[in-house]
Structure formats: structure tokens, C-alpha cells
Amino acid sequence: MEALMSLIVGVLSACGVYLLLRARTFPVVLGLTLMTYAVNLFLFASGRLTIGAPPIIREDATQYTDPLPQALVLTAIVISFAMTAFVIMLALKARAELGNDHVDGRADREESA
């Protein structure tokens, strides 16, 4: 499971970084989203991976999973959700104001020619 988890985090981050470096706002927003997915999984895994163990005290439990990373991930999800919503609105606003979706606001050469 550890290998699968790290593979997923790695692939998500790699795709996220690749998309983040694109010149159009839509891939950039997607890249940011993938990065936040990667970091959420990473935070979750930082409390070690345990299967079927409760995070809070129970009478019959013999083994617990670390509850703190779960709380951290919840916070991170909420924040990244709000940020994604904001950046989408800003990207739409930029598209409207600048007339194209290039991150620097300039149209491609073939378009302007």
C-alpha cells in the first residue's frame, strides 16, 4: 500500500507541476488542483497508513490510527477548495479583461497576425 500511495502522490505532483508550467490559465488551474490532491494524500500518509483502525478512542479498539493528519487534511481540503474557486473566478475575469486565456495576457503570434 505504501508503494501505491507514494506512486500516486508522485504521479499527481508530476502532472500538477507539468500543467502548472503551461501557458494557458485552464491547465494552470488544473495543475494547481492536482498539486493539492497530491499534497492532501501526502499529508494523510504522514500519519502512517493503517487499515481498519479507528482514529478516536473506542472501548474495543486494539489499534488506533493517527487522527491529527486527518484533521489537517480536512483543513487543507477546505482551504484548497476555496482557493480553487477563487482562482477559477480570477482566471475567468482575466479571460474577460484581457481577451484571451494566456497567463501573460498576450495572444499567440498567429492570432494577432
Compare residues 61 and 89 and give the one whose CB is closer to another protein: 89
User: 85-101: buried (b, 16+ CB within 10 Å) or exposed (e) per residue?
Assistant: eeeeeebeebbeeeebb
Is 83 a binding residue for another protein by CB under 8 A? The answer is yes
Is 82 a binding residue for another protein by CB under 8 A? The answer is yes
Q: What's the DSSP call for residue 18? A: H
Is 46 a binding residue for another protein by CB under 8 A? The answer is yes
**Which residues are CB-contacts of 46 (< 8 A; sequence separation ≥ 6)?**
69
Ramachandran angles phi, psi of 53, nearest 5° = -105, 140
Compare residues 7 and 79 and give the one whose CB is closer to another protein: 79
Question: What does the binding site for another protein look like in residue numbers (CB under 8 A)?
Answer: 20, 25, 28, 32, 35-36, 38-39, 42-43, 45-48, 68-69, 72, 75-76, 79, 82-83, 86-87, 90-91, 93-94, 97-98, 103-105
